[in-house]
Every structure is written in structure tokens, then in C-alpha cells.
Amino acid sequence: MLNAILIDDEANAREKLGFMLEQYCAASVKLVGQARNVEEGLAAIATHRPQLVFLDVEMPGESGFDLLRRVGRPDFAVVFTTAHDHYAIKAIKFAAVDYLLKPIDVDQLREAIARVVEMRTGPAGDGRIEQLVESTRQGAQVSSISVPAQNGFVRVKLSDIIWCEAERYFTIFHLVGGSELVATRPLGEFEELLDGSGFVRVHHGHLVSMDHIARYIKGEGGQVVMSDGTTLDVSRRKKEELMKRLGK
């Protein structure tokens, strides 16, 4: 059983999430406190010493990221709740801290809690919060991501990712050295996550690292030969973007 607190400036949002936790997640989570802002949140954390914090990203005054900076090295897991799907979502995903996009879906809530349970089986914190806070700073460059797999999370360097392959609702990461990693997320999520980090979608089923393209073969759409020797088709509608990225 995880003791949890909610930190959100909107009373309606706190009420809705509290109801969902009580109705659908009572076997896993016990809500022990709520707060409306960073100051109240810090006090609630000190009082209740929760194992899980549901934290709003944007609040008047200080943000959820500001709270984490003030905590230092937290010994609790964080699930962000936010209505904003811009920089914060990308930073959260890079740091492998889960998030719930408002309005919150019950199945996604359950999935997030299950992921928190998995995360807490590893070392406390596991450096994810620090990585999250750092990744939200202006101009910060992220060199690795945590990939959700069947039995938890696997930290992967971006430079080790050669290409990613869509496999229904999963994604297969093809890595340097010939190893593969099956991620429990669709390819579209990783395309969004890796946007701006040197990756390009060349086909509905293929997301590739520009650094690992060894050769381009001309054709209607053409093909790319990756550094591991794999030849991948390029769709006609993706060719223009690829040529632009290749400087052609």
C-alpha cells in the first residue's frame, strides 16, 4: 500500500483524483494528504512522508518543478498531473517519471500506479527526479532515456539507439552491439519523445537515428542502410523530410 498526497492548486482537480483513487485504486494507494501550492506541498511531505506524490506541473507562483528542486533528493515517487502537453511532458518522459494528462483516465491512472510500484523496487529515487529537474532547465540536453519494459524501466543512451521498430502497441529498440529491447509503448510516443534529439521517422514502422544512417539508396521513397547493416524502406511521404535532414 502506497501512502500518497495530492498537490494541485485546483480544488476540483484534487476532488476528482481523490475520488478516483478511492473508487478504483484503494487496494494500492491510500490518500493521506492534499495541498494547494508548493509551500503547503512541502509541509504535507514533511508531515506525511509519502511514498507517492501526485504533483501538478503548473501552479500559481512556484511550479511542481520548483517543489522538487526545493526537496533536493526525494525519497518518494512522483506522478505528474497536468493539462499541458508541451515541454513538461517531454521532460517528464525523458526522466521516466510518469504523468497523467487531465482529464485523467482511470486506466492510465492504474497503469501509472503500477509503474510506480515497479520503480520503487529499485534504488530510492534512482536519480530520475534529479534528471527531470535538470532537463527542464533552458537549453538542457538529455543524453539518455528510461524505456518502459515488461519488468520495469531500462536506461538507454541515445547514442546507443540505432533504430526503433513498430510492433503493434510495442516498440522494438535496436541497439549498438546487436541487442534489442522491447518497450511497452507505441512508436508514436517515442517519435514525440525523441523529437529534436537526432531521430527521424522514415516509415510508419521505423524511427531511425540520423547518427546511425550509413547510406541512403535512391528510389521512389528510397532506403536507408543503418550502422548495424539493416536496410529499411523510406516511405514516399517521409522522403522529403529525410532529404532535408541529410542536407540533400
Residues 221-237: pLDDT tens digits? Answer: 999 999 999 999 999 99
More confident: 87 or 32:
32
pLDDT, tens digit, 9 for 90 and up, residues 35-65: 999 999 999 999 999 999 999 989 999 999 8
Q: Could you tell me the pTM of the whole model?
A: 0.66
- Max distance between CA atoms of the chain, in angstroms, equals 65
Of 107, 135, 163, the position where a domain reaches its end is 135
Strand partners, 56: 81
Give per-residue burial for 197-235: e unless 16+ CB within 10 Å, then b.
bebbbbbebbbbbeebbeebeeeeebebebbeebebbbb
Of 135, 169, 204, the position where a domain reaches its end is 135
What pLDDT is attached to residue 248? 72
In this structure, of 133-142, 187-196, 211-220, 235-244, the range with the lowest mean pLDDT score is 133-142
Q: Are residues 118 and 50 in the same domain?
A: yes
Kindly tell me if the per-residue pLDDT of 121 is higher than 90. no
Over residues 98-122, the mean pLDDT reads 83
Per-residue confidence at 195, pLDDT binned at 50, 70, 90? confident
> How far is the C-alpha of 213 from the C-alpha of 73, rounded, in Å?
39
Q: Are residues 109 and 160 in the same domain?
A: no
Over residues 70-76, the mean pLDDT reads 82
Matching residue, cell 501509472? 112
Over residues 92-105, the mean pLDDT reads 77
Residues for the chain: how many in total? Answer: 248
> How far is the C-alpha of 136 from the C-alpha of 88, rounded, in Å?
7
Q: Are residues 15 and 122 in the same domain?
A: yes
**Percentage of the chain surpassing pLDDT 70?**
85
What pLDDT is attached to residue 140? 62
More confident: 85 or 200:
200
Q: Are residues 163 and 224 in the same domain?
A: yes
Q: What is the mean pLDDT of the chain?
A: 88
Q: Are residues 13 and 112 in the same domain?
A: yes
Count of Cβ atoms closer than 10 Å to residue 246 Cβ: 12
Q: Are residues 68 and 87 in the same domain?
A: yes
Kindly tell me if the per-residue pLDDT of 210 is higher than 70. yes
Structural domain that includes position 231: 144-246
Of 135, 161, 180, the position where a domain reaches its end is 135
The CATH number of the domain where 222 resides is what?
2.40.50.1020
Q: Give the total number of structural domains in the chain.
A: 2
Q: Are residues 28 and 148 in the same domain?
A: no
The CATH number of the domain where 114 resides is what?
3.40.50.2300
Q: Are residues 122 and 150 in the same domain?
A: no
Matching residue, cell 492504474? 110
Matching residue, cell 522522403? 239
Over residues 195-208, the mean pLDDT reads 94
> How far is the C-alpha of 48 from the C-alpha of 29, rounded, in Å?
14
pLDDT, tens digit, 9 for 90 and up, residues 18-43: 999 999 999 999 999 999 999 999 99
> How far is the C-alpha of 174 from the C-alpha of 153, rounded, in Å?
16
Q: Name the nearest CA neighbour of 119 among 92, 161, 149.
A: 149
